[in-house]
Structure 1
Amino acid sequence: MAAARRLLGVALMFNICLIPVLSVDRSNFKTCDQSSFCRRQRKFQPGSSSYRAVLGSAKLNADKLEIQLIDDKNQVSLLLEVHGLDGNMTRIKINEVKPLKPRYEVPDVLIGTPRPANLQVKGQDDNTLELSLGEQGHKLLVTGTPFRLDILAGQDLVLSVNSRGLLYFEHLRERKDTLSAKVSSAVGNMWHKVKTLFSSDSEKTDKPSEGDDVNPEGEEVAKAEESKKTEDDEPGMWDETFKTHTDSKPYGPSSVGLDFSLPGFEHVYGIPEHADYMKLRTTEGTDPYRLYNLDVFQYELYNTMALYGSVPLLLAHNIHHTLGIFWLNAAETWVDISSNTAGKTLLGKMLQYMQGGGETPQTDVRWMSESGIIDVFLLLGPTPSDVFRQYASLTGTQALPPYFSLGYHQCRWNYNDEDDVRNVDAGFDEHDLPYDVIWLDIEHTDGKRYFTWDPHKFPNPKDMLSVLKEKRRKMVAIVDPHIKIDSAYKIHNEIRSRNFYVKTKDGSDYEGWCWPGSAAYPDFTNPEMRDWWSSMFSYDQYEGSMDNMFVWNDMNEPSVFNGPEVTMHKDAVHWGGWEHREVHNLYGLYVQMATAQGLLHRSGGKERPFVLTRAFFAGSQRYGAVWTGDNAAEWDHLKMSIPMCLSLSLVGISFCGADVGGFFKNPETELLVRWYQAGAYQPFFRAHAHLDTPRREPWLHGDDNMALIRKALQQRYALLPYWYTLFYKALREGHPVMRPLWVEFPLDVSTFAMDNQYMLGSALLVHPVTEASARGLQIYLPGNGEVWYDIHSYQKYNAPQTFYSPVTMESIPVFQRGGSIIPRRDRPRRSSDCMRDDPFTLYVALNMQGEAQGELYLDDGHSYNYEQNEFLYRAFNYSAGKLTASSLNLNGEFKTSSWIERIIIIGAAKPRSITLNLIGYSETSLEFEYDQAMSMITVRKPSINIASDFTVTLR
């Protein structure tokens, strides 16, 4: 839903004609300088650290090192914990030894307690402690004064912690106001005068003699208090006002920060969500990247402003190593990035290298969070797949989506009524366009009361859903987490009676303004609240719902139209007494978690849910899909959809997409067609549009353009078996579905910053057309000694090379990698479910060695029966003129009538004959055709069940 709807929603309530101004109002959102803790931390310069590690306090057991850290400036003690973790990971935790109250530690994100790995002391001197980390040959050096940590792989320094001395930890304290300081000073002066008056003349002195007792309320304490008062009274430490909102900060300053140095690294990625390039830029001279879930009206491109979701995972890559830094903190967070190569041209770097001079490239990363503790995981790779596996072991893998959700989704704000839904659905059949899901936005409800239906526009929702079900299609309806305050509304009454709403600092229910008008906000951090919310999705509670209706959660940052920065006040109070400032970035995760649990529970735990969320955090991949929010119908927004989804994929969220056509504004026809073509090759494929935009159904733009859109849709559906297999691998291994080129080609430096083309799995390279009036593209095909094939023309290209490819309006540049086998279903149907028993075509693209491999995963597409081995996982291998099929899971069982209707072998010489061998059957000859120009063999109707083991031999 649009942040822009704030204005539009008010206009609709009062029947005001309003054309929204499509530009972000930056004044609604803080800069670092307006965020007091970010401002304080940024003032703290490198080399200013006052922390030392007391090596003599070290305690070591099998998997954990504990050392006391002392701030020599104020003598506050911190506890450093270093955990060796299985799988080449290290965890660092820093907390106060004796805080005034417990500091928040993020729950429910980690999928379990990480498995420990042994730590062993290897050496020690007066200022250094050396330990071995696990079984990968890494070493940890702990330096006492000034405190720092260094991790080495062999003799190579991989990563340093606090090497710039930017550890910043604001200990919890009681406020010392001006009055108390003055009283302390007056009492101290009076005590000294009394003591002097009653002493003998020989003992009189202006200063206490050595050995005299100094009263705790005396001058020295008064001076310390006066100094402390000045420090504690810096603006924003004890309360902070932004525009008309004041954050009371009852516990005072509590921010934490730490720096990490990455020698040898120039390229870092991750920390979504930002509408920016995939490769993170240096923030010197600009604001840091901000992680604070916000409903940003008409967000701008190419800047570091916060957006709807936050994943505090940063990845670094060079030709030798890939690593990750996972900063587990759910409070407002800023990330500064600096580099000693920033601003240097490629020519300058080459000259420096040739001359043998200059310093080693290095990137420095500084994390700053408003509250909580320092809890950071160092993912030490060393390969990209290792880092993905390591992060997945902590936060889980992408949930295996139901098969239908990988098809095309048709949405707008809003389909008007049941007749409108039926007409749009019929329009897809009339124009021979496949789709799987039609969506309903907030207007389908009874006055923005979620879990209800408008009695006039949607009086018979089950009838509407039944018509879709007969066509093997689905519906998604919106359920937002703001609840209309209405004594006649069952949901509101239930939440209030159970005391499940978020509270104000004074203990009353927190209220804000959102789509229904005055609304309250369920406290999703409370597990009892989540359980109750989940129960509301049962069929007897959510009247009118059926098993082919699924859900999307919007506005779950949470969005509060009249709140500070359009969100909840930080001093609002959640379950357990925690302030909202501690949990803010978790709220959207919890909403999606509870909704997914509800869809799961309504089926008795049998059916996979589908839930789309706008706000997210680390771990959100376990619960469904994410989209990039309220984009605009502009060419730059189409371009930006690629790096935004790549950044999400790198941090574990593979099921990502952008609103096709742009949410705001009216796309010109060329842009709309190009967006369909691009969206067909992104994981989540949904068209969506603002209430004020003209209708955009594909048949409304002329027959020629509809034909182009149909072709893009059909390409998507043909590749659904490949998509589904990639998502299965993401579930099992944590590998991203949509991935940057450098993930597949980690030694190719030219790919490290490339984000206008990408890989789907390891077999397909996609370069969408994202320029208006494009007549051609510069396409780069990576891989030394590799070959690629245009999937439309089968033309062969040797790699590596950059070439100019002419394009027309039909063009969707996609290339299959030599050495891969992709199963497709090429028969057009009305929905994915209608393709369930359709036959397969195997596309075998040979590499330079005349070999190829591929996989296919199949199950029922909707249940969890695969967890009981009810699935097929097939391997295909072509080598030495033989194509073989075998099982990758001998225990798996899944019956299917699907068969192989064609085998297309690209890059092959013409054989004399082709034969088929099936176990238990005699060898049979197969008919084939050979295209000399394309070096392509087409084997027709081998008629092999896809579950069969077989060998096809070319002679």
Structure 2
Amino acid sequence: MRAFRSLLVLAAVPAALAFKSQDFKTCSQSGFCRRGRALSARASESPSWRSPYSVDASSIALSSDQASFIAAVKSSIYPDVKFSLDVRIHDDGVVRVRMDEVDGLRKHYDEAASWALLDEPKVSQQVQWKVGKDGVSAVYGAKKDVEVKVAFEPLKVTLLRNGKEQVVLNNRGLLHMEHFRTKESVAKGKEGIAVPEEGLDIDDDAQVVLGAHPRTAWFEGEQEDSWWEETFNSFTDPKPRGPESLSVDIDFPNHGHVYGIPQHATRLDLPTTTGENAHYSDPYRLYNADVFEYLADSTTSLYGSIPFMHAHSADSTVAIFNAVGSDTFIDIGHPTAKSSTSHWISETGILDVFIFPGPTPADVFAQYTRLTGTPALPAHWALGYHQCRWNYVSSDDVRTVQKRFDEEDIPVDVFWLDIEYSEEHKYFIWDRKHFPDPVDMIKDVEAIGRHMVVIVDPHLKRTNDYPVYKQATELGILVKKGDGTTDYEGWCWSGSSAWVDFFNPGSWDWWKSLFKTESQGEQWSWVDSTVDTGIWNDMNEPSIFNGPEISMPRENIHYGGWEHRDLHNINGMLFHNLTSQAAMARTDPPKRPFVLTRSFYAGSQRFGAMWTGDNLGTWEHMAVGVKMVLANNIAGFSFAGSDVGGFFGNPEPEMLVRWYGVGIFSPFFRAHAHIDTKRREPFLLDEPYKGIVRDMLRLRYAMLPVWYTAFREASVTGLPVVRPHFVVFPQDENGFSLDDQFFVGGSGLLVKPVTRKGATEETVYLPAEDQVYYDYFNDYAYRSTSSKGKEITVSAELHQIPLFIRGGSIIPTRERPRRSSPLMKRDPFTLRVALSSDGSARGELYLDDGETFSHQQGQFVWREFAAEKPTKKSKGVRISSRDLAAQKPAEAVDHVALTTYDSSNAFAKDIADVRVEKIVVLGLPAKPSSVTIESGKELRWTYTPGVASSDKKGGTASVLVIRDPKLAITGDWSILVQA
């Protein structure tokens, strides 16, 4: 199967066969990053350094309502170059700062935000800017505790809360927007100009010629470092526009931890890249790239880029979103334990920074996702187990794999096909020799509620017998070479390939039409598919085997005349976006699409799922995958996961079992493997490994109500589906760097996946709170304290996963094993009521049809379960269910404004017979005297008293089991436990 691939790429792209650091640029190999870092070095070495940028106070122009202002910015280095500053505060307190060159030789790329944002944000009408002698300021917020100051000279933007600096732009004077110039003007300006010995001691009245002033040489450097051309390996990057990079320092003077900026294989709490004790020597890079077999600890840029960074302290959380789409390097420092610095260096673009004032993590998530969108609510089946490899080789192979899952009673929801399904890698076109009956094959999978996902990559084989390429050529929607007229040709799996320019609006309707499953006459459509087939978008960085850094030449031209260098990091998101729209357009009314992407940008969370790419089957990659998924979750992209088992390699049974323990607690859960690996479907394992994995998968399926409810919350509030410690306990400093354990949504489930070879026990950190944590499997109760957190050591044999229910939580599950999740739709529920230290608990359950958008018309069920003491001194508990949607209709679903909710909607009626079959109460302080429905009907129950440990610091909790109360999951009811 791979013979074709080997012949195709062996000579051109040996880099695609394994990770080679020399195939990807470091900062020192990138001209614009060298320039930016050199500027930072000169600044730090000079005690008298100050930014040359200042606001012309006489130019301040307030809007008519005084809610925003624009001003002219001048540079003492280049006084003839004009810049504009635009500062505004949104309705929710987010501050937007934009600066661009005015009347330059050409435009800087200014469209990155328009692709990421849902809509143009509304400017607050409650804020009024005041112009003073030294700057402009505004005070706002419900408590009038937030202030924004824009200093005139030098230009500096500061966000404060209660007088304390939170975020500062240009704090260290590293702001620099390289203006457009010509070679001729630079050459002319250099004639006869002497550089003084002291670069700072310059007569400001001296004659200034662009590129010639002594201060210029000191500020920008004495050499033209890759201004007009740059060479890397065998590739030459022509730069007819000259230097145009953007550098800005964004500091957090009172926040000692920074997180975010995925995608990197590193810790969640980002290590430093500057200073004597720097963890890394190179900055973090954001440049979407196909990094084959990437390192498990590196600042190397990977497949996606989200320029969104949190800064956190025990006092507050703030964040920034730097709306730039070009290659970007980010240095991070910690001058003190309580402060953080960042220096952003981008190849092109304008300054367009959003400052999120918080002050809590939840506030930041809400502020960010109001701008870029919340994660899409996925189809319910997409939260099940996905089975993939490169490649299932035939229709019979797919049917056999499905049969083996059923024979071993192992649940699975989705089977995947990689690139070998297609004829000569012409996507949409089936290889009829091996897949003679694609629609019948897909329908065989769908017959028992399962789905198939088929890959569609962005490269189009350049041959006129491929209708997709032929139509794209005729429409003139392909990416062009640097001349702006010739279609670009590169090499990928298809051989000689072309790429659709999805920035061109002319491509949009055409691309959506390709996925139609009915004939459209001369217009080609994918009739050999079904409307329920999911789509996998890979290689969309874009990956180009014979291109610089395995990608597209930066001088290529996109719609609007923009170079690829301007929008590289956004490119993959548009492919994902349009494919998602195409999948929805297959039916009317539309169904929720499932589209997996490898490349992404801010806003990609609106369109589907992502995975962390070509990981290795190593313990290090297993562990860092957990951290990477958490990083994506706090960057707004919750539907994330890593390949279970590792894409490369042949993991031993212990490693594979542990990886399934990671996978069942990942929002996106897929096993995937390289074509050269041995088959490793779970049914192939020997015992006891097969039985352990089966039990793990059943646990995932039992907990699907928890996952689906967490996704509903993420789709409305932006809160991540998996939450690191600092999100849930923002004031517990001992947990700020924790990234190997996390909480699942707001459920109260705390999990620590085991990622160490040979482990038989694990250490788990319990938060600083006066609370009890129950072991999910054996009901042992551990108690934390409010004064400080507590580490506990728990058993973690191969069949065990450290999993706890936080006291005060109610967990809804479905315990009956099924072959796939759609077969569970009418199954009864079990409620686990984990009483808190004060004897109370609550939980939520969200249900809808799991497929359509009918929930946006109120077709859903959203329940709240509560447990509380009947009286203050009672040792009993009242457990109740109420309609949460009726109480909070406006908070029920995203993208719609429900004003009322009908609890008897069609979906609720359809599942009216779904019941609660068991209630388990943990931590009841005494044996009940009676258990009744509020009406007085006695229920069947058993009670097992708790057993204290010898040290009195914990012990097995008491367990009350209420059997089959025959209560509707959709109904209001109450159970009274007297004790």
**Shared fold per TM-score greater than 0.5:** yes
Distance 1:523 1:221, change over 3 A: closer
Give distance in 2, aligned partners of 1:633 and 1:905.
Answer: 40
* SS across alignment from 1:462: helix
Match of 1:479?
456
Aligned partner letter, 1:915? T
* SS across alignment from 2:59: strand
Determine whether 1:535 maps to 2:513.
yes
Deviation at 1:146, TM superposition (A): 1.8
* Maintained 8 Å contact 2:491/2:546: yes
Give distance in 1, aligned partners of 2:539 and 2:862.
Answer: 39
Q: 1:910 aligns with which of 902, 922, 927?
A: 927
Determine whether 1:645 maps to 2:629.
yes
Give distance in 1, aligned partners of 2:650 and 2:963.
Answer: 46
Match of 1:676?
660
Determine whether 1:610 maps to 2:594.
yes
Moved more, 114-123 or 283-292: 114-123
* Maintained 8 Å contact 1:434/1:831: yes
Match of 2:99?
94
Give distance in 1, aligned partners of 2:686 and 2:839.
Answer: 45
* Maintained 8 Å contact 1:629/1:658: yes
Give distance in 2, aligned partners of 1:422 and 1:870.
Answer: 35
Give distance in 1, aligned partners of 2:211 and 2:613.
Answer: 53
Aligned partner letter, 1:88? G
Give distance in 1, aligned partners of 2:837 and 2:845.
Answer: 23
Give distance in 2, aligned partners of 1:503 and 1:569.
Answer: 10
Match of 2:490?
512
Match of 2:184?
176
Instruction: Show the 5 A alignment for 1:679-690.
Output: 679-690=663-674
Moved more, 800-809 or 84-93: 800-809
Q: 1:103 aligns with which of 108, 111, 117?
A: 108
Distance 1:20 1:511, change over 3 A: closer
Give distance in 2, aligned partners of 1:323 and 1:8.
Answer: 52
Give distance in 2, aligned partners of 1:238 and 1:13.
Answer: 33
Instruction: Show the 5 A alignment for 1:439-458.
Output: 439-458=416-435
| TM-score, with structure 1 as normaliser | 0.91
* Maintained 8 Å contact 1:388/1:734: yes
Determine whether 1:796 maps to 2:781.
yes
Aligned partner letter, 1:736? P
Deviation at 1:226, TM superposition (A): 11
Give distance in 1, aligned partners of 2:267 and 2:801.
Answer: 22
Give distance in 2, aligned partners of 1:161 and 1:15.
Answer: 47
* SS across alignment from 2:449: coil
* Maintained 8 Å contact 2:186/2:210: no
Determine whether 1:382 maps to 2:374.
no
Deviation at 1:341, TM superposition (A): 2.9
* SS across alignment from 1:713: helix
Distance 1:600 1:178, change over 3 A: closer
Alpha-carbon displacement from aligned partner over 1:631-676 (angstroms, at most 9, x marks no partner):
0000011101111000000010000000000000110110000001
Match of 2:726?
742
Aligned partner letter, 1:498? L
* Maintained 8 Å contact 2:16/2:550: no
Give distance in 2, aligned partners of 1:290 and 1:906.
Answer: 48
Deviation at 1:70, TM superposition (A): 0.7
Give distance in 1, aligned partners of 2:682 and 2:647.
Answer: 16
Alpha-carbon displacement from aligned partner over 1:108-142 (angstroms, at most 9, x marks no partner):
21001112114756765532333224545311222
Match of 2:890?
none
Deviation at 1:177, TM superposition (A): 6.8
Deviation at 1:681, TM superposition (A): 0.7
Q: 1:71 aligns with which of 58, 68, 75?
A: 75
Aligned partner letter, 2:928? P
Deviation at 1:543, TM superposition (A): 2.3
Instruction: Show the 5 A alignment for 1:797-812.
Output: 797-799=782-784, 800-812=789-801
Alpha-carbon displacement from aligned partner over 1:158-211 (angstroms, at most 9, x marks no partner):
2221110111111112222787679x989xxxxxxxxxxxxxxxxxxxxxxxxx
Give distance in 2, aligned partners of 1:592 and 1:951.
Answer: 46
Match of 1:521?
499
Alpha-carbon displacement from aligned partner over 1:9-33 (angstroms, at most 9, x marks no partner):
64265999x9999852111001111
Q: 1:889 aligns with which of 870, 885, 890?
A: 885
Give distance in 2, aligned partners of 1:222 and 1:797.
Answer: 69
Distance 1:853 1:310, change over 3 A: same
Moved more, 567-576 or 64-73: 64-73
Distance 1:51 1:901, change over 3 A: same
Alpha-carbon displacement from aligned partner over 1:303-326 (angstroms, at most 9, x marks no partner):
111000000000011111001110
Alpha-carbon displacement from aligned partner over 1:571-615 (angstroms, at most 9, x marks no partner):
100011111011101111000001000010001242000000000
Q: 1:778 aligns with which of 742, 763, 784?
A: 763
* SS across alignment from 2:856: helix
* Maintained 8 Å contact 1:550/1:611: yes
Distance 1:14 1:622, change over 3 A: closer
Give distance in 1, aligned partners of 2:126 and 2:153.
Answer: 22
Percent identity between matched residues is 42
Q: 2:862 aligns with which of 863, 873, 884?
A: 873
Give distance in 1, aligned partners of 2:15 and 2:109.
Answer: 40
Distance 1:179 1:795, change over 3 A: closer
Give distance in 1, aligned partners of 2:162 and 2:362.
Answer: 21
| TM-score, with structure 2 as normaliser | 0.89
Q: 2:941 aligns with which of 923, 928, 937?
A: 928
Distance 1:311 1:642, change over 3 A: same
Deviation at 1:68, TM superposition (A): 1.5
Aligned partner letter, 2:251? S
Determine whether 1:635 maps to 2:619.
yes
Deviation at 1:841, TM superposition (A): 0.4
Give distance in 2, aligned partners of 1:681 and 1:181.
Answer: 62
Match of 2:291?
296
Deviation at 1:362, TM superposition (A): 1.5
Q: 1:160 aligns with which of 161, 165, 168?
A: 168
Match of 1:434?
411
* SS across alignment from 2:329: strand
Give distance in 2, aligned partners of 1:504 and 1:733.
Answer: 43
Give distance in 1, aligned partners of 2:698 and 2:3.
Answer: 36
* Maintained 8 Å contact 1:451/1:543: no
Instruction: Mark the structure with the bigger radius of gyration.
Output: 1
Match of 2:820?
831
- Tell me, which stretches of 5 or more residues in structure 1 are unaligned? 187-218, 343-360
Match of 1:37?
32
Give distance in 1, aligned partners of 2:315 and 2:701.
Answer: 38
Deviation at 1:472, TM superposition (A): 1.2
Determine whether 1:128 maps to 2:128.
no
Deviation at 1:868, TM superposition (A): 0.4
Aligned residues: 895
Deviation at 1:924, TM superposition (A): 1.3
Aligned partner letter, 2:567? V
* SS across alignment from 2:885: coil
* Maintained 8 Å contact 1:84/1:119: no
Determine whether 1:263 maps to 2:253.
yes
Instruction: Show the 5 A alignment for 1:343-492.
Output: 361-492=338-469
Give distance in 2, aligned partners of 1:884 and 1:796.
Answer: 24
* SS across alignment from 2:56: strand
Distance 1:123 1:373, change over 3 A: closer
Q: 2:60 aligns with which of 58, 61, 66?
A: 58
Give distance in 2, aligned partners of 1:281 and 1:451.
Answer: 44
Alpha-carbon displacement from aligned partner over 1:414-468 (angstroms, at most 9, x marks no partner):
0010010000000000000000000000000011000111011011011101111
Distance 1:736 1:898, change over 3 A: same
Give distance in 1, aligned partners of 2:631 and 2:3.
Answer: 31
Alpha-carbon displacement from aligned partner over 1:812-847 (angstroms, at most 9, x marks no partner):
111011001111000000000000100000111000
Match of 1:600?
584
Distance 1:220 1:720, change over 3 A: closer
Give distance in 2, aligned partners of 1:131 and 1:840.
Answer: 53
Aligned partner letter, 1:887? D
* SS across alignment from 1:56: helix
Aligned partner letter, 1:524? F
Match of 1:844?
833
